[in-house]
Amino acid sequence: MYDLIGHVHGELDALERLLRKLGYRQDAGVWRHPDRQAVFVGDLIDRGDQSRQVVATVRAMVAAGSAHCIMGNHEFNAIGFHTPDPRGGGYLRPRSDKNHRQHAATLESYRGHAAQLADDVAWFQGLPFWLALDGVRVVHAAWSPEAMAVVEASGVRERRDWPTAFPEAFDESASLGAALSEVLKGVEWALPDGVSFRDKDGNHRTEARVAWWQVAPGDRWPAVAMGPPSLTAALPDEAIPAHYPVLQYPAEAPPVFFGHYWLWGEPSSLATNVACLDYSVAKGGQLVAYRWAGEQRLQRAHFVAVAG
| DSSP-derived 3-state class of residue 25 | strand
**What distance in Å separates the CA atoms of residue 181 and residue 170, rounded to the nearest whole number?**
8
DSSP 139: E
Closest residue to bound Mn ion by CB? 260
Q: Least distance to Mn ion from the beta carbon of 260, Å?
A: 4
Kindly tell me which of 43 and 120 has the beta carbon lying closer to Mn ion.
43
* 219 lies in the site for Mn ion, by CB under 5 A: no
Count of residues that interact with Mn ion, criterion CB under 5 A: 4
User: Any alpha helices (H) in the chain, and if so which ranges?
Assistant: 12-21, 51-64, 73-82, 97-109, 114-125, 145-154, 162-165, 175-185, 221-224, 229-234
Closest distance to Mn ion from the beta carbon of 295 (Å): 26
- Binders of Mn ion among residues 4 to 63 (CB under 5 A) are 43
Q: Report d(CA 162, CA 158) in Å as an integer.
A: 8
Residues 237-266: x where in contact with Mn ion by CB under 5 A, - otherwise, as a string: -----------------------x------
Tell which one of 73, 77, 109, 125 touches Mn ion (CB under 5 A). 73
Closest contact distance (angstroms) between CB of 121 and Mn ion is: 17
Closer residue to Mn ion (CB): 209 or 260:
260
Angle between helices 51-64 and 114-125 (to 10 degrees): 50
Residue 262 Cβ vs Mn ion, minimum distance, rounded to whole Å: 9
Are the CB atoms for 177 and 154 separated by under 8 Å?
no
**Cβ closest to Mn ion, residue 117 vs residue 276:** 276
Q: At closest approach, how far in Å is the CB of 43 from Mn ion?
A: 4
SS3 string of 241-300? CCCCCCEECCCCCCCEEECCCCCCCCCCCCECCEEECEECHHHCCEEEEEECCCCCCCCH
- Supply the minimum distance, in Å, between the C-beta of residue 74 and Mn ion: 6
Of the pair 269, 280, the CB lying nearest Mn ion is at 280
Calculate the alpha carbon distances from 64 to 28, 128, 230, 295 in Å: 11, 17, 43, 26
**Closer Cβ to Mn ion, 120 or 278, answer by number:** 278
Stretch that binds Mn ion, among 71-79, 91-99, 148-156, 227-235 (CB under 5 A): 71-79
Nearer to Mn ion by Cβ, of 151 and 183: the residue is 183
Phi and psi based region of residue 8 (left: phi greater than 0; alpha: psi -120 to 50; beta: remaining) = alpha
Q: Using the minimum distance from each CB to Mn ion, give the nearer residue, 42 or 255.
A: 42
Binding region for Mn ion (CB under 5 A) = 43, 72-73, 260
